[in-house]
Amino acid sequence: KWAATVVAGIYTTFVLLMSWILPLFPAEPKLGPVLYPTTQFTPPEFPLLLIVPAFVLDLLWARTARWGLWKQSLVSAAVFLLVFAAVQWPFADFLMSPAARNWFFGTKYFGYNTNPVGRYAQYQFLPLGTPADFWREAGLAFLISTVMIRVGLGYGARLGSIRR
């Protein structure tokens, strides 16, 4: 019933645990070039906030269960992208701020191959490009989201029909 929320919760928990546990262990790079010195395992970045749009999708799917799969996929893709952007965009701003440079959010950790004078290590966003570039990428994200949600709903329907 809460499939998307459960899967997003598992992903979030797994990445958070890696982010908090890995830096506790000492390590040193054995490959070169070493651009950014590090003395511990480098954790993954803080997880994307997929749990919020997953929860909203589960609520939506409870109300749209009788819709056709393509209609449900189109609406779900739009809802996912809007909710994800509304949640992740301001959170990304926060992650670039000095307030997130701690063990909990882990934005102070960089891999040994990170360029220390690059935008990433300087906590800067990449230039966005033109508004046309943004809308082209958003349209592509909508198209891919629609197809992938349709595939997922199709597999889910097939799995739901399996009986012992």
Pair of tokens at residue 108: 């102070």
Q: Is 11 left (phi over 0), alpha (psi -120 to 50) or beta?
A: alpha
82-111: b or e for each residue (b if 16 or more CB lie within 10 Å)?
ebbeebbeebeeebbeeebeeeebbbebbb
Q: Where are the domains of the chain?
A: 3-160
Q: What are phi and psi of 158, to 5 degrees?
A: -65, -45
pLDDT value, residue 159: 86
Q: Which residue has the tokens 């670039």?
A: 96
Average pLDDT of the segment spanning 67-92: 96
> What are the CA-CA distances from residue 47 to residues 1, 20, 41 (Å)?
23, 12, 17
Q: Residues 114, 117, 122, 128: is their CA dihedral positive or negative?
A: negative
Helix crossing, 69-95 with 51-63: angle to 10°?
160
pLDDT value, residue 28: 92
- pTM confidence score: 0.88
Q: Which residue has the tokens 């508004």?
A: 131
Q: Which residue has the tokens 């029909």?
A: 161
Average pLDDT of the segment spanning 95-103: 96
> What are the CA-CA distances from residue 6 to residues 1, 84, 93, 129 (Å)?
9, 17, 26, 35
Banded pLDDT at 96 (limits 50, 70, 90): very high
Banded pLDDT at 149 (limits 50, 70, 90): very high
Tell me the pLDDT tens digit for each residue of 44-77: 999 999 999 999 999 999 999 899 999 999 999 9
pLDDT value, residue 141: 97
113 burial type by CB count under 10 A (0-12 exposed, 13-18 middle, 19+ buried): middle
Banded pLDDT at 113 (limits 50, 70, 90): very high
pLDDT value, residue 18: 97
Pair of tokens at residue 140: 């592509």
Banded pLDDT at 31 (limits 50, 70, 90): confident
